[in-house]
C-alpha cells in the first residue's frame, strides 16, 4: 500500500483533563499517515485519484482547534474517523497526536498517542 504523510502539523488547542488546560490551551502536534493505492494518480496526474493534502490539513486543524475533548486519545480517534469518512480512497489511516506540555510532574519531551484505523473498522461503528 502506498502512503501519504503529513508530519508536524502544529495547532493550538484546548484539550485536557484539567480545567487550566481547557482555559489556557496549549500546542499540539499531529502526524497523519494515509494508506491508499496511488498508482492511478501516478498514471493520470489527476487530483481526484488521490487525497487533497490541503483538505486533510484543514480538517485536522478544525478538529484540533475546535471543540475541546478531555483525552488526546479521543482527539486522535476523531481525526481518524473524519479522514476515513471524508476520503473513501483511504484504506487506512494512522494518527499521532503529541502534547509537548502535558501536565506531568517530571521531565519529558512529549506525550504521544498513536492509533491506526481502517475503512472496514470505521464502517462498523
Helices marked H in 45-71:
53-65
Pairing of strands 2-13, 111-118: unpaired
> What pLDDT is attached to residue 121?
58
Q: Which residues, other chains included, contact 119 with Cβ-Cβ below 8 Å and sequence gap of 6+?
A: 84, 88, 90, 91, 92
Write out the catalytic residue numbers. Answer: 99
**22 and 14 Cβ atoms separated by less than 8 Å:** yes
* pTM to 2 decimal places: 0.93
For the chain, domains (ranges, CATH) are: 2-123 (3.30.1130.10)
Q: Which residues, other chains included, contact 111 with Cβ-Cβ below 8 Å and sequence gap of 6+?
A: 72, 98, 99, 100, 102, 104
State pLDDT tens for residues 31-85: 999 999 999 999 999 999 999 999 999 999 999 999 999 999 999 999 999 999 9
* Residue 120 reports pLDDT greater than 90: no
Amino acid at each position: 500500500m502506498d502512503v501519504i504523510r503529513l508530519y508536524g502539523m502544529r495547532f493550538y488547542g484546548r484539550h485536557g483533563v484539567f480545567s487550566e488546560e481547557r482555559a489556557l490551551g496549549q500546542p499540539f502536534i499531529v502526524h497523519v499517515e494515509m494508506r491508499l493505492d496511488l498508482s492511478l494518480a501516478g498514471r493520470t496526474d489527476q487530483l481526484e485519484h488521490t487525497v487533497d493534502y490541503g483538505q486533510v490539513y484543514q480538517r485536522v486543524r478544525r478538529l484540533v482547534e475546535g471543540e475541546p475533548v478531555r483525552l488526546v486519545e479521543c482527539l486522535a480517534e476523531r481525526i481518524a474517523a473524519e479522514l476515513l469518512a471524508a476520503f473513501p480512497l483511504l484504506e487506512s489511516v494512522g494518527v499521532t497526536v503529541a502534547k509537548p506540555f502535558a501536565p506531568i510532574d517530571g521531565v519529558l519531551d512529549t506525550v504521544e498517542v498513536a492509533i491506526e484505523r481502517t475503512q472496514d473498522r470505521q464502517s462498523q461503528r
